[in-house]
Amino acid sequence: SGVVDPRCVVRKSGMQPGHRLILTKPLGTGTIFAAHMRLKAKGSWITGAVSSMLQSSKAAAACLRRYGVGASTDVTGFGLIGHLAEMTKASGVAARLRLAAGPLLDGARETIAQGLLSSLHPQNVRLRRAVANVEEAGGASCYPVLYDPQTAGGLLASVPPERAEDCLAELRQLGYLGAAIIGTVESRGDQERPISIDI
């Protein structure tokens, strides 16, 4: 529990068409620790994942506010798709992700390729109903990481397009070296499934 100044609250419901989607930390804690439990993870992968988990998002949140963040949430147990689906629903918009732009922890690509997935992963995959082109995107090798449950994951935020690159540069200066622009917010229109994935 805690106290927050109502003027500083950033909600899930403020995304606007044209906004860029920024992810402040790489994905992959779920699959890397699933591999660790099976004694198939390299020590350097675990060290990297723990370092990412220990990095506070406080400075990232302040940075996003300085650049006019529209909406934000932390990426945790529901994975990137689950949390993005919540944001698109709350904001009444759609989103287009660039799969190749998504940052991954060292080792995540290898563990995903081996099918070493978290026990929560199958539950998250049910959220594929939010993806418009799931048949096409599902063939990409890194597609499963979109459903990977995160522990102490980064922030997913929408930022005005004219400020996104400067925001990303400052995030990296602040030590969020895995931060990336991973997609764009679009108008919802009449599409039933709000998320599209470019591979």
Alpha-carbon distance of 108 to 111, in angstroms, equals 5
Q: What is the model's pLDDT at position 191? A: 81
Amino acid sitting at position 66? R
Q: What is the model's pLDDT at position 5? A: 87
Q: What is the model's pLDDT at position 190? A: 83
| Residue 22 burial class via C-beta count within 10 angstroms: exposed 0-12, middle 13-18, buried 19 and up | buried
DSSP 133-152: THHHHTTSTTGGGGGPPPSS
Alpha-carbon distance of 147 to 82, in angstroms, equals 7
Q: What is the model's pLDDT at position 7? A: 85
pTM: 0.95
Mean pLDDT by 10 residues, the chain (199 residues): 86 97 98 97 98 98 97 97 97 96 97 96 96 94 97 98 98 98 94 93
Q: What is the model's pLDDT at position 98? A: 96
Q: What is the model's pLDDT at position 6? A: 87
Q: What is the model's pLDDT at position 79? A: 97
Alpha-carbon distance of 126 to 134, in angstroms, equals 11
Query: Across the chain, how many H-helices and E-strands are there?
Result: 8, 6
